């Protein structure tokens, strides 16, 4: 039964619309979906994450990502690079991106950042992991190391307590064809809207609460809406929950080990029929930031 579920999942992804890799704790690594985020934290930020989805289901998605971003020229310019490896069944996809941002002040508290993203994508299909009725089917041949370029853009309006962002990481729809009628793999345009606000729940700012929202829209797939709420205690401990509409509920936890080092963990419980065939999804990340006396970031932030 698990293999039948995997086959259905695999062909749903390949034949309808390929979406970007998803992360429960996206708010800590927004550069993956919005290039305008580059440099916005005011420090050189190094980030690594590993996500294993639908544990117990053969061939389920596994995602690893590594990124770094930093401000340049007194924080007006930002630069970032990231690498994402996404494995689903017999497919293996690597995405290398470079991000550039420019920030202008809009008030004493808020800045508006504009960003562009340049991407190189390498797609592989291991046909040895599939069983075909016709082993010479041309639709599944020559799908090794297919490299395609792309470009994206975003805007990010933010302060130390709030943010709103709009972005399209990939403007170019990529179709891999083996003949004039069949598209084996399609990468569709993904549209993102994110927002969040940090509330101080006591005068000493010992407890902070941040609700956040992310919506993702892609042709050929349902609208994805993620809502979350995180509590931060004494700028050290973070506990929160999240809900992905008609997909999963999540629990999140984090610890600010030092001023520059943060460790986070997330667990997703599936709410769809797939919950019968897996034991949930796990996500862990580590972020390290090189802080100095010139950095604006005085205390740890949610985003």
Condensed to tens digits (0 to 9), the pLDDT of residues 129-162 reads 666 555 565 555 556 778 889 999 999 999 989 9
Tell me how far apart the alpha carbons of residues 44 and 80 are, in angstroms, rounded to a whole number.
9
Q: Name, in order, each residue with C-beta under 8 angstroms of 272's C-beta and a sequence gap of 6 or more.
A: 246, 247, 248
12 or 89: which carries more pLDDT confidence? 89
pLDDT band at 186 (very low <50, low <70, confident <90, very high): low
Using CB atoms within 10 A of its CB, is residue 271 exposed (0-12), middle (13-18) or buried (19+)? middle
- 111 pLDDT more than 60: yes
- 10 pLDDT more than 70: no
- Alpha-carbon torsion (15, 16, 21, 23), positive or negative: negative
pLDDT of residue 51: 96
What does pTM read for this prediction? 0.85
pLDDT of residue 298: 44
pLDDT of residue 290: 87
At residue 11, the 3 state secondary structure works out as helix
pLDDT in tens, 82-107: 999 999 888 899 999 999 999 999 99
Q: Name, in order, each residue with C-beta under 8 angstroms of 143's C-beta and a sequence gap of 6 or more.
A: 123, 124, 125, 127, 176, 184, 185
End-to-end CA distance of the chain: 41
278 or 116: which carries more pLDDT confidence? 116
Q: Tokens standing for 84?
A: 């994402």
């Amino acid at each position: 039964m698990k293999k039948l579920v995997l086959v259905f999942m695999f062909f749903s992804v390949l034949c309808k619309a390929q979406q970007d890799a998803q992360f429960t704790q996206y708010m800590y690594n927004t550069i993956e979906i919005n290039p305008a985020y580059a440099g916005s934290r005011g420090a050189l930020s190094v980030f690594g994450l590993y996500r294993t989805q639908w544990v117990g289901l053969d061939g389920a998605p596994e995602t690893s990502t590594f990124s770094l971003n930093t401000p340049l020229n007194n924080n007006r310019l930002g630069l970032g690079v990231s690498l994402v490896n996404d494995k689903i069944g017999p497919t293996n996809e690597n995405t290398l991106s470079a991000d550039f941002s420019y920030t202008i002040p809009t008030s004493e508290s808020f800045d508006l950042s504009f960003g562009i993203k340049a991407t190189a994508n390498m797609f592989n299909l291991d046909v040895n992991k599939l069983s075909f009725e016709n082993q010479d089917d041309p639709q599944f041949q020559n799908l090794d190391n297919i490299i395609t370029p792309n470009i994206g853009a975003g805007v990010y309006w933010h302060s130390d307590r709030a943010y709103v962002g709009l972005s399209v990481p990939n403007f170019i729809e990529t179709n891999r064809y083996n003949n004039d009628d069949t598209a084996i793999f399609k990468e569709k345009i993904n549209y993102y809207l994110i927002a969040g606000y940090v509330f101080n729940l006591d005068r000493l700012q010992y407890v902070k609460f941040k609700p956040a929202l992310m919506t993702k829209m892609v042709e050929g797939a349902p609208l994805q809406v993620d809502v979350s709420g995180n509590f931060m205690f004494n700028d050290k401990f973070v506990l929160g929950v999240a809900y992905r509409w008609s997909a999963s509920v999540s629990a999140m936890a984090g610890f600010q080990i030092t001023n520059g080092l943060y460790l986070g963990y997330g667990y997703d419980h599936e709410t769809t029929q797939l919950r019968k065939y897996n034991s949930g999804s796990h996500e862990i990340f580590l972020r390290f930031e090189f802080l100095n006396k010139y950095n604006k970031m005085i205390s740890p932030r949610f985003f």
